[in-house]
Chain A
């Protein structure tokens, strides 16, 4: 039985209950029986009796379909997509049947990827009238900044959803381009092979998108890029953080349950600033692999090794960031034989995830016999086996790192 079928079954069961409030679970089989008894009216194949039967007879264990509207009316929910890939928006649908709770509980006032609701609709709302705004993505342009500030003003709670919103994420690696936005735009619109050909063919046109242009009717503007990509809490006040790239299903359920319990049962929300869905300890605590605390002679990629399914990846020479990453994801990647890339961010105890990783990694290289007489070059050789240390160790947390962006020696 596919997921879509399950959903349809739930909608059916929900509809039956709506007709008869406080319907006992038997309502669903009854509805199914009715459907089975009636001939497939109007030649509707989708509502065929066999289909209805299969839906109704297999309720999802443990799920209470259709919470109904909350006693105090529906809450207002906004979801926004800033500088991110869009995976976070999709991940919200990962909550499977629980996504239906959202529909029961909330009016979605804005969700650019899935629902209507425009900027001016939000502007017209009273301050603080949106109950929860779930914002994914880092802040990279003037548009991002404007929208997140607007949503902050109109919302009682703001959730930084996903690694980009929490720590800057992958977009924040753009901070490592020394020339900032000008260099990025210049490269993308003038130097990539296709753009270079265009520039050659049309040398007189402005090749880089302009943020402002004069036309007879007036001035047209576009949002501008910023030199540094920021995490959400570096721009606005954030109440809760939900890390993950994207957050796992369990993490999303943690967030949903907290909101549902608050709305329906009045259970107090967690304290402000809470990271939702993370544990106190590192990923290694959740990882089922056995650790033998071996030393690493050299760094290997997963494709270079026949990965032992039970042994710690670090012991096998694969660079895994689990030791410096907070748990909560259930070690999905390491269970599948892929090293942790650190998307859940650092633990409470450290502020700098990257530094925390390379402290650990550097110590894993064995002390060799010739260490006392070893030349510096030799050490650099050993450490050079780590390619692109900055990009690897700070893949998700560049905005929250201490240095934050690349610098230029000899003045700007």
Chain B
């Protein structure tokens, strides 16, 4: 969580809205996919910060809520494709949690599009790039996080 805090604080306010996005990548598929995208020199916006987790199911809803509470404009969780999980069923659990979490975020008043779950395998560098580009565009269209600090 300390990593998350420092990552979010380092980016500075800019005139043009540059979203701050936290990407949780599973160790076995998506992180390798992101690596692949880097090795292949695929062009991507630099708005996202990757946090590697052992499995997408390791992403406790608390992590996502904490990212939003620290001012993240969007959170993307990337995991192995269905039937491809290193731990057999972790991604199914993640899928249920993220669905529920999106309901909760919607109740809070966030646009549920600010939280995305996507499957990216170790060989899908291109899909990683495409996912990030699309997500950054979505968040840019939505604007900055609606969270207001110090509202009494």
Contacts and interface: CB of A to CB of B under 8 A. Distances in A.
A386 B101 CA distance: 12
B82 A374 contact: yes
Contacts of B148: 407, 412
Interface of A: 176, 178, 180, 226-228, 350-352, 354-356, 358-359, 361-363, 365, 367, 371-374, 376, 379-380, 382-384, 386, 388-391, 393, 401-412
Interface in B132-148: 142-143, 145-148
Contacts of B110: 407, 409
B100 A389 contact: yes
Interface residues of B, number: 33
A411 B62 contact: no
B60 interface: yes
A403 B68 CA distance: 7
A47 to B, nearest CB: 58
Contacts of B65: 352, 355, 401-403
A215 to B, nearest CB: 28
Contacts of A356: 62
Nearest to B84: A372
A402 B71 CA distance: 11
A243 B53 CA distance: 34
A376 B103 CA distance: 13
B151 A405 contact: yes
B36 interface: no
A331 B69 CA distance: 33
A407 B145 CA distance: 9
A367 B65 CA distance: 25
Contacts of B60: 355, 359
Given A355-B61, A389-B103, 10 more contacts: A352-B65, A355-B65, A367-B92, A372-B83, A379-B99, A383-B96, A389-B104, A390-B108, A393-B104, A406-B109
A384 B108 CA distance: 16
Nearest to B110: A407
Contact of A376 (B61, B83, B99): B99
The residue in A226, A361, A371, A386 that gathers the most chain B C-beta atoms within 10 A of its C-beta is A371
Contacts of B97: 358-359, 362-363
A226 B152 contact: yes
A168 to B, nearest CB: 15
Contacts of B108: 176, 390, 403, 406-407
A361 B100 contact: yes
29 contacts: A178-B109, A180-B151, A228-B151, A228-B152, A352-B66, A355-B61, A358-B100, A359-B60, A361-B100, A362-B100, A371-B92, A383-B99, A383-B100, A383-B103, A386-B103, A389-B104, A390-B104, A401-B65, A402-B66, A402-B69, A403-B69, A403-B147, A404-B69, A406-B108, A407-B145, A407-B147, A409-B109, A409-B146, A412-B148
